[in-house]
Structure 1
Amino acid sequence: MCGRFALLAKTDLAREFFSLAEIDDLTERYNIAPTQPIVIVVASERQEKGSNLPERKAMLVRWGFMPGWVKDPREFPLLINARAETAIGKASFKAAMRHRRILVPATGFFEWRRPPEKGAKSQAYFIRPKKGEIVAFAGLMETWSSADGSEVDTGAILTTAANNDIARIHDRMPVVIRPEDFSRWLDCKTQEPRDVLDLMKPIEDGFFEAIPVSDRVNKVANMGPEILEPVEEVIAAPAPKNDKGADAPPSSGQLSLF
Protein backbone atom coordinates (compact mmCIF):
# COMPACT_ATOMS: atom_id res chain seq x y z
CA MET A 1 0.00 0.00 0.00
CA CYS A 2 0.97 3.65 -0.01
CA GLY A 3 0.09 5.34 3.28
CA ARG A 4 2.50 8.29 3.34
CA PHE A 5 4.33 10.21 0.65
CA ALA A 6 6.24 13.44 0.07
CA LEU A 7 6.09 16.20 -2.55
CA LEU A 8 9.14 18.44 -2.57
CA ALA A 9 9.38 19.44 -6.23
CA LYS A 10 9.53 23.11 -7.15
CA THR A 11 6.47 24.64 -8.80
CA ASP A 12 8.24 25.28 -12.12
CA LEU A 13 9.43 21.67 -12.30
CA ALA A 14 5.93 20.34 -11.65
CA ARG A 15 4.45 22.69 -14.24
CA GLU A 16 6.91 21.49 -16.88
CA PHE A 17 6.79 17.81 -15.94
CA PHE A 18 2.99 17.62 -16.17
CA SER A 19 2.49 20.25 -18.93
CA LEU A 20 0.24 22.23 -16.63
CA ALA A 21 -1.72 25.23 -17.85
CA GLU A 22 -1.54 26.65 -14.32
CA ILE A 23 -0.66 25.59 -10.80
CA ASP A 24 -0.52 27.37 -7.46
CA ASP A 25 2.86 27.61 -5.77
CA LEU A 26 3.77 24.30 -4.18
CA THR A 27 4.82 24.06 -0.55
CA GLU A 28 7.35 21.41 0.39
CA ARG A 29 5.50 18.62 2.16
CA TYR A 30 7.58 15.88 3.75
CA ASN A 31 4.92 13.72 5.39
CA ILE A 32 1.60 13.70 3.53
CA ALA A 33 -0.96 11.56 5.34
CA PRO A 34 -4.47 10.24 4.62
CA THR A 35 -7.38 12.71 4.89
CA GLN A 36 -5.05 15.61 4.10
CA PRO A 37 -5.37 17.64 0.87
CA ILE A 38 -3.16 16.36 -1.94
CA VAL A 39 -2.27 17.85 -5.33
CA ILE A 40 -3.57 15.94 -8.34
CA VAL A 41 -3.40 16.48 -12.10
CA VAL A 42 -6.34 16.05 -14.46
CA ALA A 43 -6.93 16.61 -18.17
CA SER A 44 -7.94 20.19 -18.93
CA GLU A 45 -11.15 21.03 -20.73
CA ARG A 46 -9.11 22.06 -23.74
CA GLN A 47 -7.49 18.65 -23.89
CA GLU A 48 -10.82 16.89 -23.39
CA LYS A 49 -12.25 18.82 -26.36
CA GLY A 50 -9.59 17.43 -28.65
CA SER A 51 -6.96 20.16 -28.71
CA ASN A 52 -3.48 19.03 -29.63
CA LEU A 53 -2.07 21.03 -26.73
CA PRO A 54 -1.21 18.68 -23.86
CA GLU A 55 -2.19 21.21 -21.20
CA ARG A 56 -3.49 19.86 -17.93
CA LYS A 57 -4.60 21.39 -14.66
CA ALA A 58 -3.76 20.81 -11.01
CA MET A 59 -6.26 20.79 -8.17
CA LEU A 60 -6.57 19.69 -4.55
CA VAL A 61 -8.55 16.71 -3.31
CA ARG A 62 -8.92 14.96 0.03
CA TRP A 63 -6.75 11.85 0.20
CA GLY A 64 -9.40 9.27 1.01
CA PHE A 65 -11.70 8.16 -1.79
CA MET A 66 -15.44 8.47 -1.25
CA PRO A 67 -17.81 6.95 -3.86
CA GLY A 68 -20.73 9.15 -4.78
CA TRP A 69 -23.28 6.60 -3.58
CA VAL A 70 -22.07 6.69 0.04
CA LYS A 71 -24.69 8.26 2.29
CA ASP A 72 -22.76 8.55 5.57
CA PRO A 73 -18.95 8.82 5.23
CA ARG A 74 -18.54 8.06 8.93
CA GLU A 75 -19.77 4.53 8.22
CA PHE A 76 -17.53 3.99 5.19
CA PRO A 77 -13.87 2.86 5.35
CA LEU A 78 -11.10 5.26 4.41
CA LEU A 79 -9.98 4.24 0.91
CA ILE A 80 -6.54 5.75 0.37
CA ASN A 81 -5.45 3.06 -2.12
CA ALA A 82 -7.15 1.11 -4.89
CA ARG A 83 -5.78 -2.23 -6.10
CA ALA A 84 -5.00 -1.98 -9.82
CA GLU A 85 -5.91 -5.63 -10.32
CA THR A 86 -9.52 -5.17 -9.17
CA ALA A 87 -10.34 -1.45 -9.56
CA ILE A 88 -12.05 -1.92 -12.93
CA GLY A 89 -14.72 -4.21 -11.50
CA LYS A 90 -14.98 -3.06 -7.89
CA ALA A 91 -18.12 -1.08 -7.10
CA SER A 92 -16.24 1.64 -5.21
CA PHE A 93 -13.87 2.44 -8.08
CA LYS A 94 -15.59 1.26 -11.27
CA ALA A 95 -17.03 4.64 -12.29
CA ALA A 96 -13.85 6.53 -11.46
CA MET A 97 -11.74 4.10 -13.49
CA ARG A 98 -13.93 4.89 -16.48
CA HIS A 99 -14.42 8.63 -16.04
CA ARG A 100 -12.02 10.17 -13.50
CA ARG A 101 -8.43 8.92 -13.76
CA ILE A 102 -5.83 11.27 -12.31
CA LEU A 103 -2.11 11.66 -11.69
CA VAL A 104 -0.70 12.23 -8.20
CA PRO A 105 2.62 14.16 -8.16
CA ALA A 106 5.14 12.90 -5.61
CA THR A 107 8.83 13.02 -4.79
CA GLY A 108 8.70 9.61 -3.15
CA PHE A 109 6.70 7.46 -0.76
CA PHE A 110 7.22 5.80 2.60
CA GLU A 111 6.92 2.12 3.34
CA TRP A 112 7.62 -0.06 6.36
CA ARG A 113 9.28 -3.46 6.44
CA ARG A 114 7.59 -5.39 9.21
CA PRO A 115 9.71 -8.32 10.44
CA PRO A 116 7.96 -11.62 11.20
CA GLU A 117 9.32 -11.76 14.74
CA LYS A 118 6.70 -10.75 17.26
CA GLY A 119 7.63 -7.49 18.99
CA ALA A 120 10.38 -6.63 16.50
CA LYS A 121 10.53 -3.02 15.36
CA SER A 122 9.49 -2.08 11.83
CA GLN A 123 11.97 -0.26 9.61
CA ALA A 124 10.73 2.78 7.69
CA TYR A 125 12.03 3.61 4.22
CA PHE A 126 11.75 6.62 1.94
CA ILE A 127 11.43 5.25 -1.58
CA ARG A 128 12.28 7.73 -4.32
CA PRO A 129 13.26 7.71 -8.01
CA LYS A 130 16.97 7.26 -8.58
CA LYS A 131 16.79 9.93 -11.27
CA GLY A 132 14.72 13.09 -11.10
CA GLU A 133 12.87 14.91 -8.37
CA ILE A 134 9.30 14.07 -9.27
CA VAL A 135 7.20 11.05 -10.18
CA ALA A 136 3.54 10.53 -11.11
CA PHE A 137 1.40 7.94 -9.35
CA ALA A 138 -1.79 6.70 -10.98
CA GLY A 139 -4.92 7.69 -9.10
CA LEU A 140 -8.68 7.99 -9.14
CA MET A 141 -10.98 10.76 -7.97
CA GLU A 142 -14.62 11.18 -7.06
CA THR A 143 -16.70 14.13 -5.91
CA TRP A 144 -18.83 13.22 -2.92
CA SER A 145 -22.00 15.25 -2.26
CA SER A 146 -23.63 15.47 1.15
CA ALA A 147 -27.35 15.74 1.83
CA ASP A 148 -27.03 19.51 2.32
CA GLY A 149 -25.50 19.92 -1.15
CA SER A 150 -21.89 20.49 -0.11
CA GLU A 151 -19.23 18.70 -2.14
CA VAL A 152 -15.81 17.23 -1.37
CA ASP A 153 -13.37 16.12 -4.07
CA THR A 154 -11.65 12.90 -2.97
CA GLY A 155 -8.89 10.71 -4.36
CA ALA A 156 -7.01 7.42 -4.03
CA ILE A 157 -3.66 6.11 -5.28
CA LEU A 158 -3.61 2.94 -7.35
CA THR A 159 -1.24 0.21 -6.20
CA THR A 160 0.15 -2.90 -7.82
CA ALA A 161 2.38 -5.82 -6.89
CA ALA A 162 5.85 -4.72 -5.81
CA ASN A 163 8.78 -5.14 -8.19
CA ASN A 164 11.86 -7.06 -7.04
CA ASP A 165 13.47 -3.98 -5.50
CA ILE A 166 10.49 -3.14 -3.30
CA ALA A 167 9.32 -6.69 -2.55
CA ARG A 168 11.93 -7.09 0.20
CA ILE A 169 10.16 -4.25 2.02
CA HIS A 170 6.49 -4.64 1.11
CA ASP A 171 4.39 -6.62 -1.36
CA ARG A 172 2.64 -3.55 -2.84
CA MET A 173 3.76 -0.29 -4.43
CA PRO A 174 2.12 2.67 -6.19
CA VAL A 175 1.46 2.46 -9.92
CA VAL A 176 3.87 4.81 -11.71
CA ILE A 177 2.77 6.50 -14.94
CA ARG A 178 5.57 7.69 -17.20
CA PRO A 179 5.33 11.13 -18.91
CA GLU A 180 4.89 9.59 -22.35
CA ASP A 181 1.75 7.85 -21.05
CA PHE A 182 0.17 10.81 -19.23
CA SER A 183 -2.21 11.69 -22.06
CA ARG A 184 -3.42 8.12 -22.52
CA TRP A 185 -3.98 7.62 -18.80
CA LEU A 186 -5.89 10.88 -18.38
CA ASP A 187 -7.93 10.47 -21.56
CA CYS A 188 -11.20 9.12 -20.22
CA LYS A 189 -13.05 10.08 -23.40
CA THR A 190 -11.47 7.60 -25.80
CA GLN A 191 -9.40 5.33 -23.53
CA GLU A 192 -11.57 2.87 -21.64
CA PRO A 193 -10.19 1.10 -18.55
CA ARG A 194 -9.29 -1.98 -20.57
CA ASP A 195 -7.23 0.24 -22.89
CA VAL A 196 -4.93 1.37 -20.06
CA LEU A 197 -4.51 -1.97 -18.30
CA ASP A 198 -0.96 -2.19 -19.61
CA LEU A 199 -0.05 0.95 -17.64
CA MET A 200 -1.10 -0.51 -14.30
CA LYS A 201 1.93 -2.68 -13.70
CA PRO A 202 5.01 -2.52 -11.48
CA ILE A 203 7.68 -0.07 -12.60
CA GLU A 204 10.88 -1.78 -13.71
CA ASP A 205 13.60 -2.70 -11.24
CA GLY A 206 16.17 0.02 -10.75
CA PHE A 207 13.69 2.91 -11.01
CA PHE A 208 13.41 3.44 -7.23
CA GLU A 209 15.91 3.47 -4.40
CA ALA A 210 14.92 2.75 -0.79
CA ILE A 211 16.56 4.81 1.96
CA PRO A 212 16.13 3.70 5.58
CA VAL A 213 14.79 6.51 7.75
CA SER A 214 13.80 6.87 11.38
CA ASP A 215 10.35 6.31 12.85
CA ARG A 216 9.76 10.09 12.96
CA VAL A 217 7.61 9.62 9.86
CA ASN A 218 5.15 7.58 11.96
CA LYS A 219 3.79 10.77 13.49
CA VAL A 220 1.89 13.15 11.24
CA ALA A 221 2.97 16.04 13.46
CA ASN A 222 6.54 15.53 12.18
CA MET A 223 6.52 17.48 8.93
CA GLY A 224 10.09 18.73 8.53
CA PRO A 225 13.05 17.59 6.41
CA GLU A 226 14.56 15.72 9.35
CA ILE A 227 12.25 12.76 8.67
CA LEU A 228 14.19 12.09 5.45
CA GLU A 229 17.57 11.84 7.16
CA PRO A 230 19.08 8.40 6.43
CA VAL A 231 19.65 6.08 9.39
CA GLU A 232 21.41 2.79 9.88
CA GLU A 233 19.07 -0.02 8.89
CA VAL A 234 17.92 -1.80 12.04
CA ILE A 235 15.17 -4.42 12.14
CA ALA A 236 15.57 -6.47 15.29
CA ALA A 237 15.01 -3.84 18.00
CA PRO A 238 11.79 -4.33 20.05
CA ALA A 239 8.90 -2.09 19.11
CA PRO A 240 7.30 0.23 21.71
CA LYS A 241 4.10 -0.97 23.32
CA ASN A 242 0.86 0.89 23.71
CA ASP A 243 -1.30 0.83 26.82
CA LYS A 244 -2.95 -2.41 25.75
CA GLY A 245 0.38 -4.18 25.30
CA ALA A 246 0.17 -4.39 21.51
CA ASP A 247 2.71 -3.06 19.08
CA ALA A 248 2.12 0.66 18.71
CA PRO A 249 1.14 1.51 15.11
CA PRO A 250 2.17 4.76 13.44
CA SER A 251 0.24 7.65 14.96
CA SER A 252 -2.34 8.91 12.49
CA GLY A 253 -3.04 12.37 13.84
CA GLN A 254 -5.19 12.69 10.76
CA LEU A 255 -7.68 15.43 10.11
CA SER A 256 -11.11 14.78 8.69
CA LEU A 257 -12.99 16.83 6.13
CA PHE A 258 -16.30 15.26 7.18
Structure 2
Amino acid sequence: MCGRYFLPRGPAAIAAHFETVSPLPNFPATWNLAPTQDGLVVRRHPESGARHLDALRWGLVPRWAKDASVGARMINARAESLAERPAFRDAFRKRRCLVPADGFYEWPAGGAAPKQPYAIALASGEPMALAGLWEGWRAPDGAILRSFAIVTTEANAKLAALHPRMPAILPREAWPLWLGEDASEDEAALRALLRPCPEAWLAAWPVSTRVNRVAENDAGLLARDPGARPPPGLDDPPPGLA
Protein backbone atom coordinates (compact mmCIF):
# COMPACT_ATOMS: atom_id res chain seq x y z
CA MET A 1 0.00 0.00 0.00
CA CYS A 2 0.96 3.64 -0.05
CA GLY A 3 -0.30 5.62 2.95
CA ARG A 4 2.03 8.65 2.99
CA TYR A 5 4.29 10.29 0.45
CA PHE A 6 6.46 13.38 0.06
CA LEU A 7 6.76 16.08 -2.59
CA PRO A 8 9.10 18.90 -1.55
CA ARG A 9 9.75 19.76 -5.20
CA GLY A 10 7.72 22.80 -6.27
CA PRO A 11 4.93 22.90 -8.90
CA ALA A 12 7.16 24.67 -11.46
CA ALA A 13 9.74 21.86 -11.38
CA ILE A 14 7.00 19.22 -11.54
CA ALA A 15 5.33 20.97 -14.48
CA ALA A 16 8.62 21.09 -16.38
CA HIS A 17 9.39 17.42 -15.69
CA PHE A 18 5.94 16.21 -16.77
CA GLU A 19 5.56 18.75 -19.60
CA THR A 20 2.25 20.20 -18.40
CA VAL A 21 0.84 23.42 -19.86
CA SER A 22 -1.84 24.58 -17.39
CA PRO A 23 -1.40 27.45 -14.90
CA LEU A 24 0.58 26.29 -11.88
CA PRO A 25 -1.52 25.32 -8.85
CA ASN A 26 -0.74 26.91 -5.51
CA PHE A 27 0.81 23.90 -3.79
CA PRO A 28 3.29 24.09 -0.88
CA ALA A 29 6.22 21.75 -0.41
CA THR A 30 5.27 18.72 1.68
CA TRP A 31 7.35 16.04 3.38
CA ASN A 32 4.41 14.11 4.86
CA LEU A 33 1.35 14.11 2.62
CA ALA A 34 -1.51 12.10 4.11
CA PRO A 35 -4.88 10.79 2.88
CA THR A 36 -7.69 13.38 2.50
CA GLN A 37 -5.07 16.10 1.86
CA ASP A 38 -4.55 17.60 -1.60
CA GLY A 39 -1.84 16.21 -3.88
CA LEU A 40 -0.69 17.11 -7.38
CA VAL A 41 -1.84 15.02 -10.34
CA VAL A 42 -1.12 15.12 -14.07
CA ARG A 43 -4.19 14.64 -16.28
CA ARG A 44 -4.88 14.75 -20.00
CA HIS A 45 -7.33 17.49 -20.96
CA PRO A 46 -10.20 15.77 -22.82
CA GLU A 47 -10.53 18.52 -25.47
CA SER A 48 -7.01 19.82 -26.10
CA GLY A 49 -5.17 16.59 -25.25
CA ALA A 50 -2.59 18.64 -23.34
CA ARG A 51 -1.27 17.63 -19.95
CA HIS A 52 -2.57 19.63 -16.99
CA LEU A 53 -1.19 19.78 -13.46
CA ASP A 54 -3.88 20.13 -10.78
CA ALA A 55 -4.33 19.72 -7.03
CA LEU A 56 -6.89 16.99 -6.17
CA ARG A 57 -7.82 15.37 -2.87
CA TRP A 58 -6.15 12.05 -2.05
CA GLY A 59 -8.82 9.40 -1.53
CA LEU A 60 -11.05 8.67 -4.52
CA VAL A 61 -14.75 9.42 -4.05
CA PRO A 62 -16.81 7.41 -6.60
CA ARG A 63 -19.51 9.28 -8.49
CA TRP A 64 -22.18 7.13 -6.88
CA ALA A 65 -21.02 7.75 -3.30
CA LYS A 66 -23.58 9.21 -0.89
CA ASP A 67 -20.97 11.38 0.83
CA ALA A 68 -17.30 12.24 0.47
CA SER A 69 -16.18 10.40 3.60
CA VAL A 70 -15.79 7.15 1.64
CA GLY A 71 -12.69 8.63 0.00
CA ALA A 72 -10.64 8.10 3.17
CA ARG A 73 -10.86 4.34 2.47
CA MET A 74 -10.10 4.66 -1.27
CA ILE A 75 -6.54 5.97 -1.20
CA ASN A 76 -5.13 2.92 -3.05
CA ALA A 77 -6.46 0.85 -5.95
CA ARG A 78 -5.07 -2.68 -6.33
CA ALA A 79 -3.82 -3.26 -9.88
CA GLU A 80 -5.16 -6.80 -9.89
CA SER A 81 -8.80 -5.79 -9.32
CA LEU A 82 -9.25 -2.15 -10.36
CA ALA A 83 -10.89 -3.03 -13.70
CA GLU A 84 -13.65 -4.95 -11.88
CA ARG A 85 -14.10 -3.07 -8.61
CA PRO A 86 -17.07 -0.65 -8.87
CA ALA A 87 -15.22 2.18 -7.12
CA PHE A 88 -12.41 2.20 -9.68
CA ARG A 89 -13.46 0.53 -12.94
CA ASP A 90 -14.89 3.63 -14.67
CA ALA A 91 -11.90 5.72 -13.67
CA PHE A 92 -9.56 3.00 -14.95
CA ARG A 93 -11.23 3.16 -18.36
CA LYS A 94 -11.66 6.93 -18.64
CA ARG A 95 -9.85 8.92 -15.93
CA ARG A 96 -6.28 7.79 -15.40
CA CYS A 97 -3.62 10.16 -14.12
CA LEU A 98 -0.03 10.37 -12.94
CA VAL A 99 0.69 11.24 -9.32
CA PRO A 100 4.05 13.04 -9.00
CA ALA A 101 5.99 12.19 -5.84
CA ASP A 102 9.56 12.61 -4.73
CA GLY A 103 9.04 9.38 -2.80
CA PHE A 104 6.83 7.55 -0.34
CA TYR A 105 7.01 6.04 3.13
CA GLU A 106 6.46 2.47 4.22
CA TRP A 107 6.21 0.74 7.58
CA PRO A 108 7.15 -2.95 7.96
CA ALA A 109 4.49 -5.20 9.42
CA GLY A 110 4.97 -6.41 13.00
CA GLY A 111 7.60 -5.23 15.43
CA ALA A 112 7.33 -3.06 18.49
CA ALA A 113 5.60 0.30 18.51
CA PRO A 114 6.34 2.88 17.31
CA LYS A 115 6.93 1.26 13.95
CA GLN A 116 10.10 2.24 12.07
CA PRO A 117 9.24 4.16 8.87
CA TYR A 118 11.32 3.95 5.69
CA ALA A 119 11.53 6.46 2.86
CA ILE A 120 11.65 5.19 -0.72
CA ALA A 121 12.72 7.37 -3.66
CA LEU A 122 14.17 6.98 -7.14
CA ALA A 123 17.93 6.48 -6.89
CA SER A 124 18.31 8.97 -9.74
CA GLY A 125 16.77 11.74 -7.63
CA GLU A 126 14.04 12.37 -10.21
CA PRO A 127 10.35 12.62 -9.33
CA MET A 128 8.33 9.42 -9.42
CA ALA A 129 5.30 9.06 -11.69
CA LEU A 130 2.86 6.93 -9.72
CA ALA A 131 -0.04 5.41 -11.65
CA GLY A 132 -3.26 7.00 -10.45
CA LEU A 133 -7.00 7.22 -11.08
CA TRP A 134 -9.15 10.30 -10.56
CA GLU A 135 -12.84 10.98 -10.24
CA GLY A 136 -15.28 13.90 -9.95
CA TRP A 137 -18.05 13.73 -7.34
CA ARG A 138 -20.97 16.14 -7.11
CA ALA A 139 -21.90 17.15 -3.58
CA PRO A 140 -25.55 17.76 -2.61
CA ASP A 141 -24.94 21.53 -2.89
CA GLY A 142 -23.72 21.11 -6.49
CA ALA A 143 -20.01 21.58 -5.78
CA ILE A 144 -17.60 19.21 -7.57
CA LEU A 145 -14.94 17.38 -5.57
CA ARG A 146 -12.10 15.94 -7.65
CA SER A 147 -10.13 13.19 -5.96
CA PHE A 148 -7.59 10.47 -6.78
CA ALA A 149 -6.24 7.09 -5.76
CA ILE A 150 -2.76 5.60 -6.21
CA VAL A 151 -2.53 2.24 -7.98
CA THR A 152 -0.52 -0.40 -6.12
CA THR A 153 1.03 -3.67 -7.22
CA GLU A 154 3.04 -6.42 -5.55
CA ALA A 155 6.37 -5.26 -4.12
CA ASN A 156 9.63 -5.99 -5.90
CA ALA A 157 12.24 -8.07 -4.09
CA LYS A 158 13.94 -5.03 -2.59
CA LEU A 159 10.84 -3.61 -0.95
CA ALA A 160 9.25 -6.94 -0.03
CA ALA A 161 11.27 -6.87 3.20
CA LEU A 162 9.27 -3.76 4.15
CA HIS A 163 5.80 -4.47 2.76
CA PRO A 164 4.15 -6.86 0.24
CA ARG A 165 2.70 -3.94 -1.80
CA MET A 166 4.15 -0.87 -3.50
CA PRO A 167 2.87 1.89 -5.81
CA ALA A 168 3.04 1.22 -9.55
CA ILE A 169 5.84 3.53 -10.75
CA LEU A 170 5.63 4.27 -14.47
CA PRO A 171 8.64 5.02 -16.69
CA ARG A 172 8.47 8.07 -18.96
CA GLU A 173 7.77 5.99 -22.06
CA ALA A 174 4.60 4.64 -20.42
CA TRP A 175 3.09 8.03 -19.61
CA PRO A 176 1.31 8.60 -22.97
CA LEU A 177 -0.43 5.23 -22.83
CA TRP A 178 -1.52 5.61 -19.21
CA LEU A 179 -2.78 9.16 -19.76
CA GLY A 180 -4.77 8.14 -22.83
CA GLU A 181 -2.60 10.02 -25.32
CA ASP A 182 -2.01 6.80 -27.26
CA ALA A 183 -5.05 6.04 -29.42
CA SER A 184 -4.09 2.35 -29.60
CA GLU A 185 -4.57 1.73 -25.88
CA ASP A 186 -6.32 -1.42 -24.70
CA GLU A 187 -6.98 -2.91 -21.28
CA ALA A 188 -4.32 -5.60 -21.60
CA ALA A 189 -1.67 -3.02 -22.47
CA LEU A 190 -2.69 -0.83 -19.55
CA ARG A 191 -2.63 -3.73 -17.11
CA ALA A 192 0.85 -4.66 -18.34
CA LEU A 193 2.15 -1.30 -17.10
CA LEU A 194 1.08 -2.05 -13.52
CA ARG A 195 3.97 -4.20 -12.40
CA PRO A 196 6.77 -3.80 -9.82
CA CYS A 197 9.51 -1.49 -11.02
CA PRO A 198 13.10 -2.78 -11.24
CA GLU A 199 14.88 -2.90 -7.89
CA ALA A 200 17.76 -0.82 -9.25
CA TRP A 201 15.43 2.15 -9.69
CA LEU A 202 14.93 2.62 -5.96
CA ALA A 203 16.75 3.84 -2.88
CA ALA A 204 15.25 3.08 0.54
CA TRP A 205 16.42 4.18 3.99
CA PRO A 206 15.08 4.35 7.58
CA VAL A 207 13.83 7.73 8.77
CA SER A 208 12.60 9.27 12.01
CA THR A 209 9.44 7.99 13.66
CA ARG A 210 8.27 11.60 13.58
CA VAL A 211 6.82 10.65 10.18
CA ASN A 212 4.21 8.63 12.08
CA ARG A 213 2.56 11.90 13.15
CA VAL A 214 0.71 13.67 10.35
CA ALA A 215 1.36 17.06 11.94
CA GLU A 216 5.12 16.63 11.45
CA ASN A 217 6.06 18.11 8.07
CA ASP A 218 9.59 19.39 7.50
CA ALA A 219 12.73 18.51 5.54
CA GLY A 220 14.27 16.76 8.53
CA LEU A 221 11.84 13.87 8.08
CA LEU A 222 13.95 12.57 5.17
CA ALA A 223 17.20 12.34 7.15
CA ARG A 224 18.45 8.81 7.73
CA ASP A 225 17.68 7.55 11.23
CA PRO A 226 21.15 6.63 12.61
CA GLY A 227 19.68 4.42 15.32
CA ALA A 228 17.66 2.16 13.02
CA ARG A 229 18.74 -1.31 11.97
CA PRO A 230 17.46 -1.60 8.41
CA PRO A 231 16.96 -4.86 6.53
CA PRO A 232 19.92 -5.77 4.29
CA GLY A 233 20.16 -4.19 0.87
CA LEU A 234 18.89 -0.71 1.72
CA ASP A 235 20.56 2.55 0.83
CA ASP A 236 21.47 6.11 1.67
CA PRO A 237 19.15 8.93 0.56
CA PRO A 238 19.70 10.14 -3.02
CA PRO A 239 21.56 13.47 -3.30
CA GLY A 240 19.33 16.45 -2.72
CA LEU A 241 16.68 14.66 -0.66
CA ALA A 242 18.36 14.39 2.73
The TM-score range, normalised by the shorter chain, is: 0.7 to 0.9
Aligned length: 228
- Secondary structure, aligned partner of 1:21: coil
| Counterpart code for 2:132 | G
- Deviation per CA, 1:41-81: give whole Å up to 9, x if none: 00134553xxxxxx411111110111101113346762100
The match for 2:199 among 193, 201, 205 is 205
Shift of 1:206: 1.2
- Counterpart for residue 147 of structure 2: 154
Q: Distance in 1 between matches of 2:158 and 2:227?
A: 16
Shift of 1:189: 7.7
Q: Distance in 2 between matches of 1:19 and 1:88?
A: 28
Unmatched 5+ stretches in structure 2: 231-242
Aligned 8 A contact 2:114 2:209 in 1: no
- Deviation per CA, 1:172-193: give whole Å up to 9, x if none: 0000111111111100783233
- Secondary structure, aligned partner of 2:210: helix
Unmatched 5+ stretches in structure 1: 49-54, 237-258
- Counterpart for residue 239 of structure 1: none
- Deviation per CA, 1:79-116: give whole Å up to 9, x if none: 1000001001111100000000000000000001133x
- Counterpart for residue 176 of structure 1: 169
- Counterpart for residue 219 of structure 1: 213
- Secondary structure, aligned partner of 1:164: coil
- Secondary structure, aligned partner of 1:173: strand
Aligned 8 A contact 1:214 1:230 in 2: yes
Q: Distance in 2 between matches of 1:19 and 1:75?
A: 32
Q: Distance in 2 between matches of 1:16 and 1:124?
A: 30
Aligned 8 A contact 2:2 2:150 in 1: yes
CA RMSD of aligned residues (A): 2.1
Aligned 8 A contact 1:97 1:193 in 2: no
Q: Does 1:145 align with 2:138?
A: yes
Q: Distance in 2 between matches of 1:10 and 1:154?
A: 20
- Deviation per CA, 1:128-183: give whole Å up to 9, x if none: 11003311000001111122212100110000000011000000000011111111
Shift of 1:19: 1.0
| Counterpart code for 2:19 | S
* Pair 1:211–1:90, CA change in 2 (3 A): same
* Pair 1:76–1:219, CA change in 2 (3 A): closer
Aligned 8 A contact 1:99 1:188 in 2: no
Q: Does 1:111 align with 2:111?
A: no
Shift of 1:26: 4.7
The match for 1:231 among 218, 225, 229 is 225
Rg (Cα) greater in structure = 1
Query: TM-score scaled by structure 2?
Result: 0.87
The alignment-based identity, stated in percent, is 35
- Secondary structure, aligned partner of 2:150: strand
Shift of 1:17: 1.6
* Pair 1:27–1:35, CA change in 2 (3 A): same
Aligned 8 A contact 1:11 1:26 in 2: yes
